[in-house]
Amino acid sequence: MKQYFDFNKVLQEFSKIDASMGKSPILRAIRSGLTYMIPLLMIGSFALIALSLPIPAYQSIMRSLFGSQWGNIFLGIRDGTFNIFSLLMVVCISYSYTVESQDRYSPLNPIITSSIALCSFMVMSGISREGFAIANFGVIGVFLAMLIALTSSMLFMKLSSYKFLRMKVLTHGASASYSYAISAIFPAAITVAIFSIINQVVTYFFSISDMQNFLSDFFIGLFVKMGSTALTGILFMLMVHLFWFFGMHGSNMLEPVAQQVFATALEKNQALIQAGRVPTEIYTKTFFDTFVLMGGCGATLCLVAAIFIWGRHKNQRRLAKMSFLPVFFNINELMIFGMPIVLNPIFIIPFLMVPVIVTIVSYLAMRFGLIPYTKNLVEWTTPIFLSGYVATGSIRGSILQLVNLVIGTLCYVPFIKLSEGIAAINMKNNLDKVCATFKGREEHSIMSSLLSRHDDIGGITRLLAADLENDMDYEKLELFYQPQVDFNESIFGLEALLRWKHDNNHYIFPPLIIAMAEENQLIEKLGYWILDIACRDLKRIHREIDERIEVSVNVSALQLEDSNFADKVREILQKHELDPKKLKIEITEQLALISTRRIVDQIVAIKAMGVKLAMDDFGMGHSSLLYLKEYDFDSIKLDGSLIEEIVINNNCKNIVSTIVSLGKSLNYTVIAEYVETDAQRQVLHELGCNQYQGYLFSKAVPLNEAMSFILRSNKGKHI
């Protein structure tokens, strides 16, 4: 049977489109800039809800408690968020574009670029002209804000790339900020001047003093000419959502149309009803606010419902939870910019399709008399079901909203699945990118932070660190165990190794987990969790299999800096009723190198209680031998670079032989890691090393597999 639909092929094609769009610094800047605005959108959304909650009892209580001016606080918050939305967008998008374009231009300070973009926007806004409306700085001016943020940033960065335009003033003690500022004077002046000239040209030759009013008049004229037809409402909704998809507040951009064309239609219905006649207008502003824009543009409530019911992606569900309350009151900016839906090729189809479909369904329901025409004005923040009842004066209005909600939710479902599939592919690619960066940093001994970076690597790492903290809280991390064996392949110990399977079903590079935990100040919590789980699992092994097995746990310097480390280790051992001699703490040479008095005290304390001490990666540095006299090690683990060439490299053989001989005199055992061939084991045995760990025997495996391995290996043997 021929297969007509290949979901994986569709997934790959959409992934290519998304990846292609993701490479564009312009689109990346827009997405990042809108993401930066999420906190302000969230604050503004809740202020609007608190201000206009359409419950008479609530409004009455607030007035009686706080007086008639009770809403001024929320009005102030609105003024500081939504009413300067365009100004914020200029700054955020310009900043993001500067960061995204650093590879193409000489390094520039993003704050300077953003300031120049803001100046250019103010120049184009016509703020000094008579009739200027402060509303142009709100959501209504986003198109101009986005356009100027990008073009002014491009122009300034291009001008700054010309050396003859960059002033250089070298003075004693001048900071980098001072140098950036001085070098930006001429490029900044030219950029702002160009936009001022453009503004004057547009005003003089085209008589356009306010671009927003010009666009509004154009659209009003278009819809007035069309008249009231079935296609009018469909075209209106389509245009609103096309604007939204490209990051412009479609509802506000076409608000003049809604007021002059569709708000008057509601007034006509009300006049006909008062005259005892039947209303005639289906398309009214209340019609769209109530039956189409459920949860805001794109019928966002349907998207949230689809994520709740069918979504499996953790971050999408987290966003849906945060967005639910604002969306319930038809405030959807958090969802639109947080998903994001703006400029997202995956969601363009349902985002445009759902409003059109529910417009048609609602139109037909009223046209054939199934639902009464809208007759009452309803505030756009009125939640679903209540708004349907109030608008029509009938419970059938609420039923129509339910039908539309179900239809819209079902339309979004396949795209949720598609989005999650692409997110998994992108996450895999992003994780590979972060791991490659981290490994390169390790190879060159670079200790710079990943979380503090402002590029993609930093963003991905911060997202990963948040997931790590969440999975730690829900105990989704695991410990695997790699057996340690003697020459006869009897198991005497296990090394506990951290494993984290991310939501995309890929295990995260363990050293990266530790690095993120250290940077995010989670290492103490993670370290004690590892110790606790390792001791719990060892107790089970002792109870069910063999009391002679010991467990090794790696400990970082930050853990040992905790003055309570030894006490907490004692508590964990007592909790699981374990012999301290069965626990071995492993430290690296780097840790020994940076040892402080506090670290030394903790090591001495754990040794005093009977816990064993091992040095990991012994021989990888030039100072390994120096630390043998500083610490009373019970064992050392040979660095893998020595084992890799031990069969063919006589120098490696001589080094291992010397370490083994020294171990006999200093009373420590030697464990060879990364043993992968029988030839390596045989050479090590001939050199006197009889304890091994590596893939020749077993990789790191979950506890149950490790226990089965112990049973098979130690049956009838004596360690």
Q: Which of the listed residues 174, 193, 208 is the one where a domain comes to its end? A: 208
For residues 418 and 397, what is the distance between their CA atoms, to the nearest angstrom? 33
Q: Cis peptide leading into 340, omega within 30 of 0?
A: yes
- Pair (600, 510) in one structural domain: yes
In this predicted structure, the answer to whether residue 4 has a pLDDT above a threshold of 60 is no
Q: Is residue 2 part of a domain?
A: no
pLDDT at 630 exceeding the cut of 80:
no
In a domain, 385, yes or no: yes
Which of these three, 423, 441, 469, is where a domain ends? 423
Among 206-215, 463-472, 510-519, the least confident range: 206-215
Q: Convert 532-589 into a string of H (helix), E (strand) and C (coil).
A: HHHHHHHHHHHHHCCCCCEEEEECCHHHHCCCCHHHHHHHHHHHCCCCHHHEEEEEEH
Q: Given this model, what pLDDT does residue 1 score? A: 40
Tell whether 442 is covered by a domain: no
| CATH number of the domain residue 480 falls in | 3.20.20.450
139/271 same-domain check: no
Does 45 map to a domain? no
| 231 and 367 share one domain | yes
Q: Check whether residue 170 and residue 229 sit in a common domain.
A: no
In a domain, 96, yes or no: yes
Q: Structural domain of residue 202, as residue ranges? A: 22-36+81-208
Q: What is the pLDDT of residues 126-179, one digit of tens each?
A: 777 766 667 678 766 777 888 899 999 999 999 988 888 877 765 555 566 777
CB atoms within 10 A of CB 120: 28
- What are the beta bridge partners of residue 635? 614, 669
Q: Are residues 490 and 604 in the same domain?
A: yes
- Beta-carbon count within 10 A of 103 CB: 8
Average pLDDT for the chain: 84
97 and 171, same domain (yes or no): yes
Q: Does the pLDDT value for residue 9 go beyond 60?
A: yes
Task: Say yes or no: 200 and 224 in one domain.
Answer: no
Range with the largest mean pLDDT of 22-26, 269-273, 638-642: 269-273
Residue 499 lies in a domain: yes
Q: Domain end: 208, 225, 255, which one?
A: 208
User: For 1-5, 587-591, 697-701, which range has the lowest pLDDT when averaged over its residues?
Assistant: 1-5
379 and 342, same structural domain? yes
pLDDT in tens, 516-561: 888 888 888 899 999 999 999 999 999 999 889 999 999 988 888 8
Question: Are residues 228 and 186 part of one domain?
Answer: no
pLDDT of residue 439: 80
Residue of 489, 480, 548 whose CA lies nearest to 693: 489
Residue 11, domain member (yes or no): no
Residues 489, 590 within the same domain = yes
Q: Could you give the 3-state DSSP secondary structure of residue 647?
A: coil
Looking at 555-712, which runs of residues are DSSP E strands?
A: 583-588, 612-618, 635-638, 669-672, 691-692
121 in Cβ contact with 145 (< 8 Å): yes
pTM exceeds 0.85: no
The whole-number average pLDDT for the span 641-659 is: 90
| Lookup result for tokens 């940093």 | 441
Whether 70 is in a domain gets the answer no
Tell me the pairing of strands 583-588 and 691-692.
unpaired
In the structure, what pLDDT confidence band is assigned to residue 622 with cuts at 50, 70 and 90?
A: very low
**Domains in the chain, number:** 3
Q: Which residues have a Cβ under 8 Å from the Cβ of 198 and sit 6 or more positions away?
A: 124
Q: Are residues 177 and 294 in the same domain?
A: no
Question: Which of the four pLDDT bands, split at 50, 70 and 90, describes residue 15?
Answer: low
**Are both 626 and 572 inside the same structural domain?**
yes
Residue with tokens 């060879």: 672
pLDDT digits (tens, 9 = 90+) for 344-402: 888 888 999 999 999 999 999 999 999 999 999 888 888 899 999 999 999 999 999 99
2: pLDDT strictly greater than 50: no
